[in-house]
Amino acid sequence: MGGTMHALSAVPNKAKKRGEMAEKSYEEEHPTKAFGWAARDQSGVLSPFKFSRRSTGEKDVRLKVLFCGICHTDLHMAKNEWGNSTYPLVPGHEIVGQVTGVGSKVEKFRVGDKVGVAGMIGSCHSCDSCSNNLENYCSEVIITYGAKYLDGTTTYGGYSDIMVVDEHFVVHIPDNLSLDAAAPLLCAGITVYSPLRFYGLDKPGMHVGVVGLGGLGHVAVKFAKAMGVKVTVISTSPNKKQEALEHLGADSFLVSRDQDQMQAAMGTMDGVIDTVSAMHPILPLISLLKTQGKLVLVGAPAKPLELPVFPLIVGRKIVGGSAGGGMQETQEMIDFAAKNNITADIELISMDYVNTAMERLLKTDVRYRFVIDIGNTMKN
Same domain, 225 and 303: yes
Co-location of 218 and 137 in the same domain? no
Same domain, 173 and 303: no
- Beta carbons of 268 and 254 less than 8 angstroms apart: no
pLDDT at 104: 98
**46 and 117 share a domain?**
yes
| Same-domain status, 353 and 224 | no
86 domain residue, yes or no: yes
Residues 308 and 358 in one domain: no
Q: Could you list the pLDDT tens digit for every one of the 380 residues in the chain?
A: 333 222 222 333 333 344 444 556 899 899 999 999 999 999 999 999 999 999 999 999 999 999 999 999 999 999 999 899 999 999 999 999 999 999 999 999 999 999 999 999 999 999 999 999 999 999 999 999 999 999 999 999 999 999 999 999 999 999 999 999 999 999 999 999 999 999 999 999 999 999 999 999 999 999 999 999 999 999 999 999 999 999 999 999 999 999 999 999 999 999 999 999 889 999 999 999 999 999 999 998 878 999 999 999 999 999 999 999 999 999 999 999 999 999 999 999 999 999 999 999 999 999 999 999 999 999 87
Tell whether 174 is covered by a domain. yes
User: 180 and 128 in one domain?
Assistant: yes
Same domain, 96 and 237: no
Domains in the chain: how many in total? 2
Does residue 330 belong to any structural domain of this protein? no
Q: What is the CATH number of the domain that holds 196?
A: 3.40.50.720
Q: Are residues 278 and 309 in the same domain?
A: yes
In a domain, 350, yes or no: yes
Same domain, 168 and 203: no
Are residue 225 and residue 146 in the same domain, yes or no? no
CATH of the domain at 160: 3.90.180.10
State the pLDDT at residue 301: 85
Full residue range of the structural domain in which residue 248 is found: 188-321
If asked whether residues 351 and 282 sit together in one domain, one would say no
Half-sphere exposure of 179 (CA within 13 A, CB side): 21
pLDDT of residue 4: 24
